[in-house]
Structure 1
Amino acid sequence: MNAQLYLITPPDVGPDFAHTLGQVLATTEVAAVLIQRGEREDDAYVDVANALIPIAQKAGAAALLDNMPEAVKRTNADGVHMTSAAKDIAKVVKDLKPNSIVGAGGIHSKHDAMTKGELNVDYVFFGHLPLGKTDDEFSAEELAIWWAETFEVPAVCFDQENTDLNTKFEFRALREQVWQSDQPAQTLAIIAKGNS
């Protein structure tokens, strides 16, 4: 099957990134956009989110906040991506679902996946948002394939080297592969077309 696209914004963009995001989403269908928080303070992050959320939603993509569940309703985001402990994610699920999406990240082992995957989340996310190598026992790709073959909760796989959409899991997350290009809209379109 072909995985749907899950696009992660760069961690350091400002509200003016809305123009670039709009261009990219105009060329290729994307299922979800994770507005990455990076090192921003709360107010600065909300400013960026308020600029990007309408752009994502206009293109038919779910706009997700990064570990800021308390801002989902006031920003009109579609949901939140959580990388905290299972007990914190369980509270967010209770507070926000079924009206909002809650995704679980911070998963680096099969045990993590099973613990967070049983919390009634909408997806489990494999891979590290910070750049750099990891010492995980399994790669994000290996974990996502194992999960998709075994469980029903959708899997998102973020492997900074891989753009293959012909996979066993439901969502392929992309960031550097798109934004480091001189022409991100064209690059994303090529990735999608090359896998169709």
Structure 2
Amino acid sequence: MASKSAPPRPVPRLYLATPAVDDPAPLRASLPSMLAAADVAAVLLRLKETDHRGMIACAKALAPSVQEAGAALLIDGHAELVARSGADGAHLTGIAALEDALPSLKPDRIAGVGGLATRHDSMTAGERGADYVLFGEPDASGRRPSQEAVIERLGWWAELFEPPCVAFAASLDEAQAFAAAGADFVLVSDFIWADSRGAATAIAQAQDAIRQGYEAARLAAAADAQSRP
């Protein structure tokens, strides 16, 4: 994999994960305002577990709202539903799930992967052809790495590897810190939907936090470069 040493990286973009969805109507009504409020690159659709026909219908109902806004729709797991639902790809958890899904997704659809506990797992995912790697998300029991551990992993990946890295942020402070650390995308979820001001306001504020983190890191890097002999 090639080094990322060349031009300055762009401002990280938002990646929005939905709550578990079974009835698409409320989300379909709110998505246009949310996606207009910030630069959202992709939406991760978490489907409530039901029969395949129902999950496909749910994804089909939401795909146009996402794609017409210029974002990609990814399904959390269930790579087998992607082609039939009109989604743009899938997010998988772990190397085995990624390898199982790649034949049905490549070359035309996105295959992202999380659940990467070690640096070796991360490098293996990149070598297998993952379109992005995700760091910092909760495991099956809800446990997450520390903010410091996520920052360390992001900085390591961003410096050395070409595939984009995504950081799972559970708060505005984390979104800002992870943008500064080298994330290409910041995945936001529960705190967006729980905001009493509304999800569109919350996602706009998340974008502001990301930009602030990015600008702070850019200025720090420029100051460091100027201080060198």
- The TM-score with structure 2 as length reference comes to 0.75
Task: Note the aligned Cα RMSD (angstroms).
Answer: 2.4
Percentage identity across aligned positions?
Answer: 35
CA contact (8 A) 1:69 1:80 kept: yes
CA distance in 2 between counterparts of 1:79 and 1:34 reads 9
Q: 1:135 to 1:148 in 2, by over 3 A?
A: closer
Structure-1 separation of matches of 2:145 and 2:96: 24
Equivalent position of 2:183 in the other structure: 169
Whichever of the two has the greater Rg, that structure is 2
Conservation of the 8 A alpha-carbon contact between 1:126 and 1:141: no
Matched ranges for 1:108-127 at <5 A: 108-127=117-136
In the alignment, the residues of structure 2 paired with residue 77 and residue 25 of structure 1 have an alpha-carbon distance, to the nearest angstrom, of 17
**Aligned length in residues:** 195
Q: Any gaps of 5 or more consecutive residues in structure 2?
A: 1-8, 212-229
State whether structure 2 residue 39 is matched by structure 1 residue 25: no
Is the partner of 1:128 in helix, strand or coil?
A: coil
CA distance in 2, matches of 1:160, 1:195: 13
With over 3 angstroms needed to count, the CA separation of the structure-2 counterparts of 1:100 and 1:147, relative to structure 1, is same
Within the candidate set 47, 50, 57, 2:67 is matched to 57
Compare the two structures and name the one with the higher helix fraction. 2
1:3–1:167 contact (8 Å) kept in structure 2? no
Question: Which residue number corresponds to residue 227 of structure 2?
Answer: none
2:209 pairs with 1:191: no
Instruction: Check whether the contact 1:8–1:173 (CA below 8 A) recurs between aligned residues.
Output: yes
SS at match of 1:36: strand
From the superposition, tell whether residues 185 and 13 of structure 1 become closer, same or farther in structure 2 (CA, over 3 Å): farther
- Cα distance change, pair 135–163 in 1 and its aligned pair in 2 (3 A): closer
**Residues 101 and 83 of structure 1: is their aligned pair in 2 closer, same or farther, counting only changes over 3 Å?**
same
Q: Distance in 1 between matches of 2:133 and 2:124?
A: 10
Secondary structure at 2:113's aligned position in 1? Answer: strand
Distance (Å, rounded) in 1 between the aligned partners of 2:207 and 2:145: 30
TM-score (norm 1): 0.87
* 1:130-171 per-position Cα deviation (integer Å, ceiling 9, x unaligned): 5733468x7333322221122111101103131213441201
Of the candidates 61, 69, 72, which is equivalent to residue 79 of structure 2? 69
Written as runs of structure 1 = structure 2, the 5 A alignment for 1:31-46 is 31-46=41-56
Distance in 2 separating the partners of 1:175 and 1:91:
26
From 1, 11, 21, give the equivalent of 2:20: 11
Q: Partner residue of 2:113?
A: 104
1:81 deviates by 0.7
User: Shift of residue 28 of structure 1?
Assistant: 1.4
- The residue type equivalent to 2:81 in the other structure is A
Q: Deviations over 1:26-78 (max 9, x none)?
A: 22120011001354443333232122211110110010011111111111111
C-alpha displacement of 1:13: 5.5
Q: Which amino acid aligns with 1:188?
A: I
Kept after mapping to 1: 8 A contact 2:12/2:210: no
Pairwise CA distance, 1:194: 4.3
